Amino acid sequence: MTTPLHFNAFVMNTGSHIHHGQWRRPDARQTEFNDVQTWIHLAKLLEAAKFDAMFFADVTGLYGDSDADFDVYVHEGLQIPSNDPTVLLSALAVNTEHLGLALTSNVVQSHPFHFARQVSTLDHISNGRIAWNVVTGMQNNGARNFGQAQLTDHNERYEWAEEYVDVTYKLWEGSWDEGALLKDKEGSSFSDPSKIHKIYHEGKRYSVEGPHLPSPSPQRTPVLYQAGSSASGRGFAARNAEAVFLIAPSPAVAAEQISETRALAVSHGRNADDIKFFQGLSFVIGDTEEEAQAKALEYEKYVSVDGYLAHMAVVDKTGRVYDPSTPLKDVDTNGARGFLEWTSRYITDREPVVGDLGILQARNTRIVGTPESIADQIEVWQAAGIDGVNVINWVIPGSFEEFADKVLPVLRARGLAQSSYAEGPLRQKLFGSPRLNERHPAAKYRGAFATNADVVEQSEPQLVE
Ligand SMILES: Cc1cc2nc3c(=O)[nH]c(=O)nc-3n(C[C@H](O)[C@H](O)[C@H](O)COP(=O)(O)O)c2cc1C
């Protein structure tokens, strides 16, 4: 019995998200990222192809340890200019019916009371199709944009995230009981005060009285996405996430990360299959192997080595990207050292240079082949334990159009992709139930504030001004 995989389109509301340089291609429409119609068109295309969700990445600033190379970011359109996905999703919600809509929001960027309200509003607008990718950031510049001197220490960022999600869980799950919203015209009561509660959160960073202002949305808590890979990141994901993202270099590495995180989830009282794992992959599709290889070379002509280097923060101590001809052994950077070492080991027949990093990044997790051979490769990833794929694009909308037209039919014929949407909110489509299960840490807040004096009894009569 084969189990269908889930498919997300991994995008960002910007010109150059992952595969840097490709926006220069004549068929690339990511240059029209400011035009809402670009995204509406893509969302409709994805829905027609029965993708599970459209997943927007986001950042709060520029990459780089020491402000990296500002010129490179600007010339490459490397995540600048970029727009806020949270705002964009409301436009996509009213133009689609079944597609999941996932936003990324960093704990640094908005107060949890405000953020929880925005998400509840979106979940109402979309009839329960919202997911939240919880991130803590990797950018000093992104932290400085929100008044921090620099990026908060790694472990502390995840402690911060724990408090942040805790506030939102209290608001989403605990503040309003079921049946609180009455809209009772004859009885003259809009809502039942005995079923709406303040949360009185007092923590290290936040003090939030409540109640939550929106009434419960279809999912209450949005589907929770996370991509932590460090020990503290994986711990956070094991406790909180319902979907975890990997960009593992091979199925074997993915299998290891998946089994470790599943075991951690079990140690936190959850079931191993309470979390679904999505591997990021990009595809170059040809009708023959030769055609696919030729297309891959053609994509490589557009690769911006500088763009990949700046994204990886492979910059010297003054923040400049290295010249592509610099031997790797001469690179002294605080950026992606692991990838540098891996590249040095991979290229053994000549002196590896900085330019190799860019090309290898473009090839990383790329599958080149016919629809049939791509489906074979996806089966290998599934055997390693993944539940889904985040499809990374070269061009918008072409990469998704091709995947939908050529690869999905082959996957469908093998029982590896859904051919229709299940009923209900996004969580119901993914897990069979619209609300978080009772093993999730947010579930403990259901009914937890019922002993708080209810809102109306507690407040003093107010004069209307
Ligand atoms: C597929 C994927 C998508 C991600 N999207 C974002 C994003 O949109 N914004 C962001 O700040 N970080 C993003 N990250 C980074 C992760 O949130 C996380 O910080 C990173 O994987 C490093 O893990 P660590 O925080 O445990 O060290 C993403 C990571 C992956 C693998």
Q: What are the domain boundaries of the chain?
A: 6-182+200-290+366-446
DSSP 247-305: --SSHHHHHHHHHHHHHHHHHTT--GGGSEEEEEEEEEE-SSHHHHHHHHHHHHHT--H
Give yes or no for a contact between 144 and 61, defined as CB atoms under 8 angstroms apart: yes
Mutate to test the pocket of ligand 1, among 133, 159, 312, 339 (most ligand atoms within 8 A of CB): 133
How high is the pLDDT of residue 334?
62
Distance (Å) from CA 313 to ligand 1 centroid: 14
135 lines ligand 1 (CB under 6 A): yes
**Closest CA to ligand 1's atom 20:** 228
Of 462 and 172, the one with more pLDDT = 172
User: Using a 6 Å cutoff on CB, does residue 57 contact ligand 1?
Assistant: yes
Query: Which pLDDT value is given to residue 63?
Result: 81
Atom of ligand 1 nearest to the CA of 58: 8
pLDDT exceeds 50 at position 61: yes
Q: Ligand 1 mean position to 14 CA, how many Å?
A: 17
Distance CA(136)–CA(146), nearest Å, equals 13
Q: Which of 104, 106, 107, 392 to mutate to test the pocket of ligand 1 (most atoms within 8 A of CB)?
A: 104
Evaluate if residue 21 carries a pLDDT over 50.
yes
**d(CA 154, ligand 1 centre) in Å:** 13
Please state which architecture CATH assigns to domain 6-182+200-290+366-446.
Alpha-Beta Barrel (3.20)
- pLDDT of amino acid 98: 98
85 lines ligand 1 (CB under 6 A): no
Q: How do residues 398-413 score in pLDDT, each as one tens digit? A: 999 999 999 999 999 9
Which band of pLDDT confidence, cut at 50, 70 and 90, is reported for residue 462?
A: very low
Is 451's pLDDT higher than 90? Answer: no
Q: How many residues does the chain have?
A: 465
Euclidean distance between CA atoms 272 and 437, whole angstroms:
13
297-320: per-residue pLDDT in tens?
999 999 999 899 888 877 777 777
Q: Does 58 carry a binding-site annotation?
A: yes
- pLDDT, one tens digit per residue, over 38-56 is 999 999 999 999 999 999 9
Q: From 6, 58, 229, give the residue whose CB has the most ligand 1 atoms within 8 Å, as the site to mutate.
A: 229
Mean pLDDT, to the nearest integer, of 343-349?
83
End-to-end CA distance of the chain: 66
Whole-number Å distance, alpha carbon 369 to ligand 1 midpoint, is: 28
Closest CA to 353 of 319, 309, 317, 311: 309
Burial class (CB in 10 A: 0-12, 13-18, 19+), 460: exposed
Residue nearest to atom 28 of ligand 1 (CA): 227
Q: Indicate the pTM of the whole model.
A: 0.94
Cα 226 to averaged position of ligand 1 atoms, centre (Å):
7
What is the reported pLDDT for 230? 86
Ligand 1 midpoint to CA 233 (Å): 9
pLDDT digits 0-9 by tens, 315-342: 777 777 888 899 988 888 766 667 777 7
For residue 340, the model assigns a pLDDT of 79
pLDDT band at 67 (very low <50, low <70, confident <90, very high): low
Contacts of 90-95 with C-beta under 8 Å, sequence gap 24+, read: 90/121, 90/122, 90/125, 91/36, 91/39, 91/40, 92/39, 92/40, 92/43, 92/54, 93/122, 93/125, 93/126, 93/129, 94/125, 95/40, 95/43, 95/44
Query: Which pLDDT value is given to residue 1?
Result: 75
Q: How many CB atoms lie within 10 A of CB 271?
A: 11
Nearest to 54 by CA among 20, 87, 12, 90: 12
Supply the pLDDT for residue 309: 87
pLDDT reported for residue 167: 98
Q: Give the pLDDT of residue 244.
A: 97
Q: Distance, CA 227 to ligand 1 centroid (Å)?
A: 5
Mutate-to-test residue for ligand 1 from 135, 264, 279, highest number of ligand atoms within 8 A of CB: 135
- pLDDT(68) > 80: no
Q: Is 154 annotated as a binding residue?
A: yes
Q: What's the pLDDT score for residue 463? A: 47
Average pLDDT, the chain: 93
Q: Does residue 229 have a known ligand-binding role?
A: yes
Q: How many angstroms separate the alpha carbon of residue 377 from the centre of ligand 1?
A: 24
Pocket probe mutation, ligand 1, options 89, 103, 132, 138, max atoms within 8 Å of Cβ: 138
460 pLDDT band (50/70/90 cuts)? very low
**Rounded to the nearest whole angstrom, what is the distance from the C-alpha of residue 59 to the centroid of ligand 1?**
10
Q: Which pLDDT score, from 0 to 100, does residue 458 have?
A: 46
Going by alpha carbons, the residue nearest to atom 16 of ligand 1 is: 227
Please indicate if the annotation marks 259 as binding a ligand. Answer: no
Inform me whether the pLDDT recorded for 457 exceeds 60: no
pLDDT digit string, tens, across residues 228-276? 888 899 999 999 999 999 999 899 999 999 999 999 999 999 999 999 9
Any ligand 1 atom below 6 A from CB of 105: no
Of all residues in the chain, what percent carry a pLDDT higher than 70?
95
Instruction: Name the band, by pLDDT with cuts 50, 70 and 90, for residue 456.
Output: very low
